[in-house]
Structure 1
Amino acid sequence: MKFFAAILLSLLVSACATQPEATNPPPSAAAGKTVDAGAPLVQQAGALIAAKKPAQALPVADQAIAYYERTYRKSATLVYSARWPTESMLYVVEGLNAKADSRVYGIEWGFAYFLKGFALVDLHRFPEARAAFDEAIKLSPRNSKYLSERAEVDIAERNWRPALEMFQKALEAAELSPPEVKTAETTRALRGMAFAQIELGNLDAAKALHERVLQLEPGNEKSLNELRYIQQQKARKK
């Protein structure tokens, strides 16, 4: 199982385009200026992964993570990393509901963990990848992309039921995805759920999920191909 490296550069662009005005920006180095020493490292790690160099990307992602953990971890009881204002405001509300001191930062912190997990998947180090994605999700619990990628680790390890449950969470989180990626993240979660249902032997449930994909993307080749596969499997059982 590999996450689609071809779309990583667009993911990086999307990350930069949708990042919120963090409720707690990086500390000031001088009057009127803010410094985020981790951001260039995140960009570098992403570029290395896009270039199919996961082994080189891994230590760079770790450097970014170390910077954010050192700089922000002790800033509050709850800390979040959000990619756009709606997600950021949701985390603010969750902190208020929990009656806890909370801080919401930009996308880079959680994205650094995501990139680490991505690199570890490419290196077939799945238990470590799972741990990295879990850290990304702790920081960004409503990020559908992170949840789907975490589910892919369960798929790789043939843990169909946990994968189905995680893709379901990704589907729910997609309701809050940025508009420009909402359909893509919704359909990815649906297709992931369908894959797990096929492996669990639930062909009718998988068929219904792919039909939902086609309602959103009528020409989705992956779902069209899977529906043909499901039809073939059902015909063999007659």
Structure 2
Amino acid sequence: MIASMTPTGQWLKNLQEEYRSFIRESPLYTSIAAASSAADLQWIRQLYYLSSDFTAAVALRYGSCQDSRFRDAFGEHAAEEVTHPADLAEWMREFEFLAAGEEPTSVSPTLETLALGSYLIRVVTRDPIPHQLLTLNLLAEGTACDFYWAVNPKLAELGLTPKGYWAVHAKADMRHEILGLDLIPQCAPDSPCGRSYAHALRTTASFFRLVFDSWSGSQLEKFKVSIPEAET
């Protein structure tokens, strides 16, 4: 709970709230609120890619972590994420976002979606553990809380029962958000360490905003334009 956070955890949570507000200004949220049918929710096809890459990132983080202080938290997170891409695909088939025999990857990801997925893997393989927690937990899971808070009621309104994948996220993301945050080194916001923490949050927030903007209706329509293959 926030009341038991360390001083560093508290100022990071405050900064995270600012970035979450920035992400919620994406036109995607306007599109979600205005959706009147499943046809207005084609970004769900993009969500499958992000779910897959995020699940891969938290699994890789756990598998490569050598610091015993973080292994339990990382293992818990990885174990709870592992079925999410398959859960989403199952829901997509039930509500006909996928045709019979169609793979979830039959629609190409936006470049922004690919970039965020790649960035998450890069953070796990290149960045220090505190930055991994800020990226994959504090910012990503906080953003997920806002996202599913907006999406799940809309799905229910449209008769697309938000069960399985959607219901799990509604329950787990608030806990995942601050998982391990009390274990990172303490520092003031204006210290070199604090500035590096803030940079990690800012970078991740920028990626999420770009991704959500790319999922808004007009952007997805533009992305459907076929690119001719080179002649052989």
TM-score by length of 2: 0.30
Greater length-normalized contact order (CA 8 Å, ≥ 6 residues apart):
2
What is the TM-score when the length of structure 1 is the normalising length? 0.29
Structure with greater proportional strand content: 1
